[in-house]
Structure 1
Amino acid sequence: MVPRPRNQGSKDLPPNLYRKTDRRNGVTYYTYRDPVTGRMFGLGKDKDAAIREAVAANYADVLKPNLVSRMAEPVREKGKTFSEWLSEYEALYAAKDLSIHTVRSFKSRKQRLEDAFGHIEIKLIRTMDVATFLNGITKEGKAHMSKVLRSMLRDVFTEAIAAGWCDLNPVDATKAARTKVKRERLSLALWKAMHEEADRPWLQRALELGLLTGQRREDVRSMKFADDNDGHLHVIQSKTNARLRISTSLRLEAIGLDLKTVIKQCRDRVLSKHLLHHSRSIGGMKAGAPIKLDTLTRAFAELRDRAAAKIGVTLSDNPPTFHEMRSLAARLHAAEGRDPQKLLGHRSAAMTDIYKDSRGTEWIDVA
């Protein structure tokens, strides 16, 4: 680009260098004009130094830092990646004193987030990136997983903001996937058929304890005789660490049983710490050893299928699992006038209401 005509006061200066005198104090300042962009750069009051920098800028033949480097676009420093923050977040998460099951679930979910966003700078992750990721999982038919990952991802960014790693939470503007629970509810009629069909004492006791107490599979399996004292069965829930004292006088008229009687029936000729235990040695398990979770799950499923066939009930593609006794317990105790929220260990009544919903498997009596 041809420089503009020089005025008389700049004849002794190299191209693109100009001087200007401040009328207030009489001091002369020098300015360089980039011939390509037209940007102006102040070079101070030292004429000789200004001339040297202008010449260097015009011919770009000086390696040391000078006007050439000052004219260049600033290089943005690369920010920290999402992967780096996940390592920090994992330490925060571990400090929450969570159950083994929750920690195991966290690791698998963390890996999915790592694969999707790990290489991206955390400050550059946009709402569209998050929405695309979550919608992709929903389209795979995993709406529940999409909802769970959204909740976790939202907390990840909330903690990142608190730690100063980013300024905005891109998850807030996204919508959670709509989920429809597919698992079939367990009816009282099927439970009674299973109870009658059960061919192992410990399996009958598992059905009774599960329905009377409304506790999760892991907690029923972990119950010990030592937990029964002062007229109460003491339960520390493995998932939430909720501490429950369930009166052993608790009774369900719908099945004609009370907790004290069931605990007493758990005792047999074998000495064991556990309410649910093997009454004889089988395979690699010794008599008195606790029932494994997988064994309990398989035995429940096999018993359910046999009982359903016996009473002519057609099960869906997602038949009820052991966990559905928790819902049935909530409905039965509520029907007999007891508040199931405390029994189930829920913090909110809304969660209990979900368990009380029969999902259309029961008749509604109209007076």
Structure 2
Amino acid sequence: MIRRIEAGIGTRPVEGVMAKDCAEFIRAVTSSDRARQQFRLVPGWILGCAVQEGWIETNPVLATRRFQHERKRARLTKEVYATIWDQAEPWLRLAMDLSLVTLLRRDDVVSLKFSDVRDGFLWVVPQKTEGSTLVKLKIRVGDELASLLSQARDAVLSPYVVHRLPDRARPSDKRAAARQHHTQVMPEQLTRAFQDAREAAGVCRENPPIFREIRSLGGALVSESGGQLNRFKAS
């Protein structure tokens, strides 16, 4: 991208680059609105630095048209979910089922600990609110969720509900900074594992469903059944 910007407008004195020059470059470099977003963003950063250095008074890119592009991902259906689930490792199957049943986000699923289950409820501080509102979710442990929590108690000793043994042992100083236990699954690991299972299942269409779509599927299944998810906000 930098090379194409350099070839398009990079040889001009910075004070001579006008909004018209930037607009013509962005339109000419690609016909994709999504790519045009990026080719507007990066010159905007570059010329923003020129403003900060006092070389120019205003950033000409800011006067150009904004290109709107919303990336639409394919919805996850029950059939596709089952196909991906069949290709997943046991720990990933558990993570998928937990997200489907509780509608928790990826980061919250891998953060669940057995100690979060008490008095017949699963208590969760969503990662999005941690450090700000500290809102807690109180999720009733029904038969389905209780079964998943029971499956999670396997031969691997771990404080985390979703866990796995590492492929190879690493010294504590070589582990990810956010890793608190050697069996802990990091959010990025969950994403990669889901992608691998999805590809193994042959779900390779344009904009294939990602792990986040499991929550949408779970919500749709709750609506179809006419039921309500037993989730409450608790202080």
Task: Check whether TM > 0.5.
Answer: yes
Tell me the residue number matched to 2:160: 274
Tell me the residue number matched to 1:324: 213
Q: Is the 8 A contact 2:107 2:127 kept in 1?
A: no
1:284 corresponds to 2:168:
yes
Structure 2 CA distance for aligned equivalents of residues 250 and 160 of structure 1:
57
1:210 to 92, 99, 104: 99
Closer/same/farther in 2, CA of residues 113 and 257 from structure 1, 3 Å limit: farther
Closer/same/farther in 2, CA of residues 209 and 155 from structure 1, 3 Å limit: farther
| Mapping for residues 271-350 of structure 1, pairs under 5 Å | 271-278=157-164, 281=165, 283-285=167-169, 289-291=183-185, 295-304=189-198, 316-329=205-218, 331-332=220-221
Larger radius of gyration: 1
Q: Is the 8 A contact 1:237 1:243 kept in 2?
A: no
Structure 1 CA distance for aligned equivalents of residues 126 and 158 of structure 2:
18
Closer/same/farther in 2, CA of residues 264 and 130 from structure 1, 3 Å limit: farther
Q: Is the 8 A contact 1:219 1:237 kept in 2?
A: no
Tell me the residue number matched to 2:174: none
2:23 to 107, 131, 135: 131
Q: Is the 8 A contact 1:147 1:177 kept in 2?
A: yes
When normalised by structure 1's length, the TM-score is: 0.42
Secondary structure of residue in 2 paired with 1:247: strand
Q: Is the 8 A contact 1:125 1:170 kept in 2?
A: yes
1:179 to 28, 52, 69: 69
Displacement of 1:320 in angstroms is 2.0
Which of structures 1 and 2 has the larger relative contact order (alpha carbons within 8 angstroms, sep 6+)?
2
Structure 2 CA distance for aligned equivalents of residues 136 and 246 of structure 1:
50
Identity across matched positions, percent: 27
Displacement of 1:131 in angstroms is 2.0
Tell me the residue number matched to 1:362: none
Tell me the residue number matched to 2:89: 200
- How many residues were matched structurally? 216
Q: Is the 8 A contact 2:26 2:40 kept in 1?
A: yes
Displacement of 1:207 in angstroms is 0.5
| Mapping for residues 85-234 of structure 1, pairs under 5 Å | 124-136=16-28, 138-139=30-31, 141=32, 143-148=33-38, 150=40, 167-179=57-69, 181=71, 183-195=73-85, 197=86, 200-225=89-114, 231=121, 232-234=123-125
| Structure 1 residue ranges, 4+ long, deviating more than 6 angstroms after superposition | 111-114, 116-121, 155-165
Structure 1 CA distance for aligned equivalents of residues 46 and 66 of structure 2:
16
Q: Is the 8 A contact 1:234 1:244 kept in 2?
A: yes
Displacement of 1:284 in angstroms is 0.6
Structure 1 CA distance for aligned equivalents of residues 128 and 35 of structure 2:
24
Closer/same/farther in 2, CA of residues 157 and 213 from structure 1, 3 Å limit: farther
Closer/same/farther in 2, CA of residues 324 and 203 from structure 1, 3 Å limit: same
**CA RMSD for the aligned pairs?**
4.9
Closer/same/farther in 2, CA of residues 233 and 219 from structure 1, 3 Å limit: closer
Displacement of 1:161 in angstroms is 7.2
Tell me the residue number matched to 1:95: none
When normalised by structure 2's length, the TM-score is: 0.60
Tell me the residue number matched to 1:90: none
Structure 1 CA distance for aligned equivalents of residues 89 and 9 of structure 2:
50
Secondary structure of residue in 2 paired with 1:284: coil
Structure 2 CA distance for aligned equivalents of residues 276 and 192 of structure 1:
19
* Unaligned segments of structure 1, at least 5 residues: 1-108, 309-313, 344-367
Q: Deviation digits for residues 316-342 of structure 1, max 9, x if unmatched?
A: 244323233244345456665879xxx
Q: Deviation digits for residues 188-235 of structure 1, max 9, x if unmatched?
A: 23224444x256331121112333454554553344445557842112
Secondary structure of residue in 1 paired with 2:61: coil
